Amino acid sequence: MKTILLIIFLLASNFAQAQLDTIYIMAPSFEDISEDNETNYWTDCGDARELAFPVFDNSGRQFGVTAKAFEGDYFVGLVVRKNGTTEGMSQYLHKPLLAGKIYQFSVLLRAPKVFTNQGIDFAHPIIFEVYGGSDACTTDELLGFTKAVTEKEWMQFDFILEPTDDFDWLSLRVDFKDNQKPYNGSVLIDYVSDIMEIE
């Protein structure tokens, strides 16, 4: 009898666990690079007057950035600029984030030791933000953010996402440190985890 009860309990536990959803991220470590050095599953959300966010390889030849990818051969950088523009990227989710659900999500981030473009220094810490949106690049609800990222090695940043509306898009954006005038800064991004429902 005890054995039967144990089997029923285990089956019920597995069934309950199966009800918790996983939203899969496409190209989580940006390995889907096209011939023009763009990533296929991530939409550029930067200012149209500026270049798209850079995709780095492990060569160390781009903008003086010598960091190596944590996972695979590629990673990306997002920047803020003294002219007030900021960068971001978004991805359509095959299953929406649902209001009232609680999700777990993580990203690997680091600050570059060197990041220069046309003699301008972008190696200054900035804030990383996670948004839910109704369309590509929309920032309908801020779901999580970091302090200014200063770590010079890859570090996992964990987020608990609690959307108050349903969202089909996930956007990753950057911003200036609190109460600071616009400045040039950057953060490097590698492995973006799947989004796991936990409640």
Q: Where are the beta strands (DSSP E) in the chain?
A: 22-23, 43-44, 55-56, 75-80, 88-97, 103-110, 116-117, 120-121, 127-133, 141-145, 155-161, 167-175, 185-192, 195-197
Instruction: Give the tens place of pLDDT for each residue, 16-32.
Output: 444 689 999 999 999 88
Q: Is the pLDDT of residue 65 over 70?
A: yes
Q: Is residue 140 part of a domain?
A: yes
Instruction: Give the tens place of pLDDT for each residue, 76-96.
Output: 999 999 999 999 999 999 999
- Reference 86, options 48, 118, 56, 57; nearest CA is 48
Q: The domain containing residue 117 runs over which residues?
A: 24-197
Residues 126-144 have a mean pLDDT of: 97
Instruction: Give the tens place of pLDDT for each residue, 103-123.
Output: 999 999 999 999 999 999 999
Q: Is residue 3 part of a domain?
A: no
Contact status, residue 30 vs residue 42, Cβ threshold 8 Å: yes
- State the total domains in the chain: 1
Q: Is residue 122 part of a domain?
A: yes
Q: Is residue 9 part of a domain?
A: no
| CATH number of the domain encompassing residue 87 | 2.60.120.260
φ/ψ of 13, rounded to 5, equals -65, -45
Q: Is the pLDDT of residue 13 over 70?
A: no
Q: Is residue 139 part of a domain?
A: yes
